[in-house]
Amino acid sequence: DRLFSKGSQYKKAGVILSGLVPDATIQGNLFIEETANNKRKLMSMLDNVNFAMRGNMVKFASVGINKDWKMRQELRSPRYTSRWNEIKIVK
């Protein structure tokens, strides 16, 4: 998608992101020291395998195998804040 179209009128807008922390920042746990590091390694491994396989091939068992339920996309709200093609155009 192209962001700029010649001849279109644009308004200046801003987005404020607050409370952002690095992904390595995790709230501490007094009782389990290695949990955060092990979780980070596991998630990195899953991401790498899934990226290499071009899909969601490896996942936790709690996710399930069969996807019996699927969101009905035609009834969802428009995603004005995250999809350029769904932004309302006012004339």
Q: Indicate whether 18 pLDDT > 80.
A: yes
Please check whether residue 87 is in contact with residue 80, taking contact to mean a CB–CB distance below 8 angstroms: yes
Q: Is the pLDDT of residue 51 over 80?
A: yes
> 15 pLDDT exceeds 80?
yes
Q: How far is CA 75 from CA 6, 72, 88, in A?
A: 33, 6, 17
Beta carbons within 10 angstroms of residue 26's beta carbon: 13
